[in-house]
Structure 1
């Protein structure tokens, strides 16, 4: 009986081992478990198209009220969710349960993703989270974005329903096809630090827009005007966590998705681009696009296959790495002409742009500098919309041994000639001096 049970166990392992190996080898960087915090559960129906687009792509959405006393992002040191959608702009005071600004920032610092939407009633909690992520909402709590030229004709008299079409030119963020229609926006303005390479404005306002309180007498110039107003921005942290910040919660609503857009001064109507924009931005934020990984980093002497323990000065070496991009379903070879490798010690001694074979393999060759010490192969690849790659591999470089130098160095031939000519001259002088008067 014991032997038959052992045989059955071995058969089970033999059947399941390939399945388990395949499951573990297919690393998926996309988020799966998403916590959705809402001001009101009615948002589940008013924003149903956006949420259904996420569930259709395999995401598990957990809807909860933002002031739920049982809220928690982690338990026993393990995070319960991979991403957070914060559609609760008007939540008063602190969030429910163990959630606060610090907990959400720790969530992002741990490599998790965040979608945050605001509106005209945004609370201080949401503003503080946005500020810590590098985005500053207008300090005037009653101000919204107003545009008396680029507004939708169905807008109220305050012209706060604006039409935005100034989108970033980045296929990796908005998709290869781009956003086909104009975007409806009703919400508040924010600004980003132009010197920061982490925050990028996706949708900006037109030059005629400004941030002010509707139907109020302006006693001073508005703080934010024109194209300096950011409507939708994205952040990619240094740990490759991604954040989407929108000044409008309505931008994700079914009403804006399906509403035809007629811009002031135009007699034609067009389909709204809100649904496509929300879909593409959610793909980018949840790493369905623009996520890179590097594998099979290898270096060796030219003509050899094994990695050496060290190199000698002036050796010829080869360096290679494979880079792949996640498409939401599978890993595909990444193709670019700007991937560089450094041979680095305190500063780069060699900087080479690598060639690729169209199948994800990047390679180059170069000569080791005539300097010995401890060097590093470094690849620091940072490109708009893509996760950053930082690779480093340490290798020592030694000088020639005493028996590895050439017997006669070409550069020393003049010195050799000088020494032998002096000996010859001294010999001739000695003969002349001794045997001739």
Structure 2
């Protein structure tokens, strides 16, 4: 009876265990928890949610204060991604808190945070831990009297038509975003000590952050292109985070709106919000820019088996296969800047790997004339791509006593000196004995 109960319990946990870690063999079927301040957001932002579901994501919608919220069960994560569309939440329900969210990211999972003018301290603190600082003024919004959208008729010019995108096709896709993105919300700055966070959409040089309902009495704390509207972070474990100060940027209203930037005669029938957020979501959830390395091999030239030890001055070959997830399958990754180090305390050999453009990278070199414990190291970090950090340890020994050459050409002068001395001694002895 007890065994049957345990079996039933294990079977009931299978769906959760299968979703406990992100399976990048196929992103489809991945579970994402969406926390909302109000369930009405589910319908007002349905176009964005629909784009995720059409790509195979299983969205679990819950109110942010739901007492049953939990990211883990029995030590296993139930979700692969987390979307926080609950900027006003002061406290999460269930077992979810700031520490749990940060642990979620530290475990390699992805996160999207959308704030707005009434962002709570909790949301601000989570963003700060990810390298982003929202404007400290709780009523400040991004204002632009030059780069505003023409449809902003209120006079405060808080509806911005932003088009200062990051120049990275890995993050934003190969198709250029022609129409500006409509943004209405709060700005943030990047922590200069955090080199992992990137500004994806920046404000124009004429923008500033202030209270739109009052006159400026002091200089604004955030101005110009230093204001980031949308930022991303890729952690060292390749977890990805998206942070923006606007919840409405994801809304159906802005997805469907036409846009014309002030001072421009071009009017776009549709704002760039849908294309921009769809493409960046693909990157956040590892549908693009994710690399994997397999089949790391090394061997002596002319041999196929991997040795347990090398000898100094051996000629060796090193190869590795690198693939990129294309959204539907693994495709060969082609680049000319992948390098391998033969490393002991410092690199003794640094070689750029050549590729056959089918995913295989290889090179050959001579083991340095230094013995000890070396490592083959590949450290590959490029903008937009997940980082690769591979190492493989191998000892290197000196020549054994019976492996040296019998006669070393460099020692011929010494051989000659020895034999000439012997010949001279023999001649001297002969002359001394027989000379009268």
Same fold by TM (over 0.5)? Answer: yes
Q: In structure 1, which of residues 89, 108, 128 is the aligned counterpart of residue 125 of structure 2?
A: 128
Q: Which moved further from structure 2: 400-409 or 421-430?
A: 421-430
Give deviations 1:241-287, integer Å, cap 9, x for gaps: 11011111111111111111111112331131110011001100001
Q: CA deviation at 1:333?
A: 0.6
CA distance 1:220–1:410, change in 2 (3 Å): farther
User: What corresponds to 1:88 in structure 2?
Assistant: 86
Q: Which moved further from structure 2: 71-80 or 124-133?
A: 71-80
Q: Distance in 2 between matches of 1:142 and 1:168?
A: 28
**Is the partner of 2:108 in helix, strand or coil?**
coil
Q: CA deviation at 1:328?
A: 1.4
Q: Distance in 2 between matches of 1:227 and 1:428?
A: 93
Q: CA deviation at 1:365?
A: 0.4
The answer to whether 1:116 aligns with 2:124 is: no
Q: CA deviation at 1:61?
A: 0.6
Q: Distance in 2 between matches of 1:98 and 1:280?
A: 32
User: What corresponds to 2:14 in structure 1?
Assistant: none
Q: Distance in 1 between matches of 2:183 and 2:432?
A: 106
Contact 1:313/1:398, CA 8 A, preserved across alignment: yes
Give deviations 1:378-401, integer Å, cap 9, x for gaps: 111111111111111111111111
User: What corresponds to 2:12 in structure 1?
Assistant: none
Matches within 5 A, 1:8-407: 27-28=25-26, 32-91=30-89, 93-155=90-152, 156-270=154-268, 271-407=270-406
Q: Which moved further from structure 2: 29-38 or 306-315?
A: 29-38
Q: Distance in 1 between matches of 2:128 and 2:208?
A: 20
Give deviations 1:308-367, integer Å, cap 9, x for gaps: 111110000001111111111111111111111111111111111100101000100000
Q: Distance in 2 between matches of 1:416 and 1:256?
A: 89
Q: CA deviation at 1:433?
A: 5.2
Q: Distance in 1 between matches of 2:63 and 2:132?
A: 24
Give deviations 1:143-165, integer Å, cap 9, x for gaps: 11111111111112111111111
Q: CA deviation at 1:417?
A: 2.9
CA distance 1:411–1:195, change in 2 (3 Å): farther
**Is the partner of 1:280 in helix, strand or coil?**
helix
Contact 2:28/2:56, CA 8 A, preserved across alignment: no
Number of residue pairs the alignment of both structures matches: 412
Q: Distance in 1 between matches of 2:228 and 2:307?
A: 52
Q: CA deviation at 1:29?
A: 5.3
CA distance 1:138–1:409, change in 2 (3 Å): same
Q: CA deviation at 1:208?
A: 1.0
Gaps of 5+ in 1: 1-24
Q: Distance in 1 between matches of 2:336 and 2:203?
A: 33
Contact 2:27/2:56, CA 8 A, preserved across alignment: no
Q: What TM-score does the superposition give when structure 2 sets the normalisation length?
A: 0.91
Q: What TM-score does the superposition give when structure 1 sets the normalisation length?
A: 0.91
Q: RMSD across aligned C-alpha pairs, in angstroms?
A: 1.7
Q: CA deviation at 1:413?
A: 2.4
Q: Distance in 2 between matches of 1:295 and 1:112?
A: 22
Q: CA deviation at 1:296?
A: 0.8
Q: Distance in 1 between matches of 2:215 and 2:110?
A: 40
**Is the partner of 1:130 in helix, strand or coil?**
helix
Q: Distance in 1 between matches of 2:377 and 2:401?
A: 31
**Is the partner of 1:55 in helix, strand or coil?**
helix
Q: Distance in 1 between matches of 2:215 and 2:306?
A: 73
Contact 1:243/1:285, CA 8 A, preserved across alignment: yes
Q: Distance in 1 between matches of 2:426 and 2:229?
A: 92
User: What corresponds to 1:8 in structure 2?
Assistant: none
**Is the partner of 1:261 in helix, strand or coil?**
coil
**Is the partner of 1:154 in helix, strand or coil?**
coil
Contact 2:341/2:347, CA 8 A, preserved across alignment: yes
Q: Distance in 1 between matches of 2:114 and 2:129?
A: 15
User: What corresponds to 1:420 in structure 2?
Assistant: 419
